[in-house]
Amino acid sequence: MKRIQLLTAILFVLGSTPTSASALTGSEILKKVDSLRNPLSSFQIDVDLISYRNEASETWKMRVFGQGTEKSLVEFVDPASQKGQYLLMLNDAMWIYLPGTSRPIRISPLQRLMGEASNGDVARTNYSIDYDAELAGEAEAEGQSCYRLELTAKDPGVSYSRVMLWVSKKNYEPIKADFYVVSGKLMKHAYFREFGMMNGNRAITAIEIQDAVRAGRRTVMRYSKLQPKELPEKMFNKNYLGKW
Amino acid sequence: MLTRIAFRNVFRNRRRSTITMLVLIFGATALILFGGYKEISFYGLRESTIRNRVGHLQIYKKGYLDSESQKPLEFGLENVRELRRAVESDPRVEMTVPQVSLMGLVTNGEKSETFLATGVESEKDQKMSAQRLVAGESISDQENDGVIVGELLARSMAVKPGDFLTLMSTTVNGSLNGMDVRVRGTFATGVKEFDERAIKMPLAGAQQLLQTTKIEKLLVLLKKTDDTDSVKRDLESRFSQNHWGLEMRDWSALATYYHQVKNIFNGIFGFLGIVVFLIVIVSVANTIIMSIFERTREIGTLMAIGTRRRQIWAMFFLEGLLIGVLGGILGIAFGSAVGELINQAHIQLPPPPGYTTGYQLRIMLKPSILVTVMVLSSVTATLASVLPAFKASRLKIVDALGHI
């Protein structure tokens, strides 16, 4: 009897030994995910954006200056037609500055529905700050075993009110994310395609965003040359756009 | 005495008087018909504008008209039910129509365009019949995500009734939202820029897309347009009494197209009226001059028997006045008769651009037109006879007597 009990006890212990991973909560996993994206508090990074519409594609090269998670300034470098343009993104508001004009133009949330601005919204999603995470089980994504996190927006003003995030069980790298709007409609698929070393740390180096509503539209963003950089406050003030 | 003679003269010279009066009757009729047509056009356009488009009054939240809202419906109306009940309690009000408008992107999965949607209650929309349905059926409160689409937008999206589209917009909080909608029908307004972008959807569906219970504005339709000013005043005092923070516009401030058309019409008909008036006055002057010329011997005789020059002048003046008044009365009678005949013929005119219903060709016999015609007729004939009458009184008796 005792032997059986002992065996049962051992089996029970063995069987129920939790893997080290599932001890983490949804929000802890989320924090790990975010650390792969914005590891520095003040930085500069190069972004190559390739926009595909069916077979045709367009490429933009940009340099992004970021401070914390709320402020980023995008400088367009290539193609020549975009060179000199700046996009300032502060929390909820977005401004574009065109060279030769005297004032930046505010981009309304509505206008961000169109074109690559919508992908910009997706790419700079601040998971841990804007969303509450709940571990909703496990699933396979892109051939990897993942945790499925269900993210709900903390604020009604957040662009995408719900996100489904698949995080690799092995190393907490995000694999895939689905973005939903208030009505429950799926709008975007995001795939975290490549990871590499940037500034001595592991980071996401390529992300692909597919439009779930309009066929044939996808965008690939490649990140490189991440480096810490001291940035003046002026840089993130819309009144100074284009003036330095 | 002079009057009696003048009176008798008018009837004595039947031929001359008749010709003069015919000219006056022609002029009167022309003015009555032009004026009446103009008036009915204004009336028709006004009522179309009010009943199909803007309503008699529009109620907004205070600040809406001057505002620069960053987010949709930042200045939207809340407590809608209470407001509607309060407004509809006035027996002069026929109905209230809540409206929401929004913009966004519409896509069929391949192509996307910007759209401008108006959210309305289907029953109210039917009553206002603001657009002409070209295919399919209108929106229904049973299907919150069933929309009707401008025909050029439908063509651009390659959809017909029964197909689906996705509407993408932002909520009142600035969050993104999207909604699959079924095309129930397509409509045409005749205005290209509108048909390329416009969508009509149930109010509840629009509110769902915007994630709000607010509305943008409340249209008020009255039973009689003439009540507009008094109802507006009553509502304004009610609003300020209850501190509701609302502002209003009446249809006149909103009906820009109507005012533009009115100005053009007034210009055209004003010009026509002047032309008619000139024709009439020249003709009348001509016949009176001829008439006096033919009566030279009579004038000579009159003066020879002692009639003063002053009296000659007065007599002809009175004759002119009499013909004018008589011509005016007959002109009004004849013009009104012709107008009524046209009205009875029930001729239908096509709808003006942008409107759904045409209207019947009618001559509106407004009292102001008739009075104007009467006055003009009398004045014309009188004026026309002033100078010749004066001239006549200045004749040398001897020459006059010897005139052929």
Q: What is the pTM of this model?
A: 0.76
Sign of CA dihedral A174, A177, A181, A184: negative
For the segment B206-260, what is each residue's pLDDT rounded down to a tens digit?
999 999 999 999 999 999 999 999 999 999 999 999 888 899 999 999 999 899 9
> Chain B within 8 Å of A212 (Cβ-Cβ)?
no
pLDDT at A239 over 60: yes
In this complex, which of B105, B166, B175 lies closest to A159 when CB atoms are compared? B175
B-contacting residues in A 125-164 (Cβ below 8 Å) = 153, 155-161
Taking CA atoms, what residue in A is nearest to B177? A181
Please give the distance of CA B359 from its chain centroid, rounded to a whole number: 12
pLDDT at A244 over 50: yes
CB of B186 closer than 8 Å to CB of B198 = no
Cross-chain Cβ contact B107/A213 below 8 Å? yes
Q: How far, in Å, are A154, A159, A186 from residue A179 at the CA level?
A: 15, 10, 6
What is the C-alpha separation between A167 and A144, in angstroms, rounded?
9
Q: What percent of chain B has pLDDT over 90?
A: 44
In this complex, which of A155, A181, A215 lies closest to B176 when CB atoms are compared? A181
Which residues make beta-bridge pairs with A168?
A146
For the segment A89-119, what is each residue's pLDDT rounded down to a tens digit?
887 788 888 888 888 888 877 777 777 778 8
The domains found in chain A, sorted by start residue, are: 21-240 (2.50.20.10)
For the segment B264-295, what is each residue's pLDDT rounded down to a tens digit?
999 999 999 899 888 888 888 888 888 888 88
Label residue B55 by pLDDT band (50, 70, 90): very high
- The answer to whether the complex's ipTM is over 0.90 is no
User: Closest by alpha carbon to B200, among B118, B258, B124?
Assistant: B118
CA distance A216 to chain B (A): 8
> Chain A within 8 Å of B71 (Cβ-Cβ)?
yes
Q: How far, in Å, are A21, A25, A35, A115, B256 from residue B35 at the CA level?
A: 89, 82, 80, 56, 22
pLDDT at B167: 94
Q: First vs last Cα of chain A: how many Å apart?
A: 83
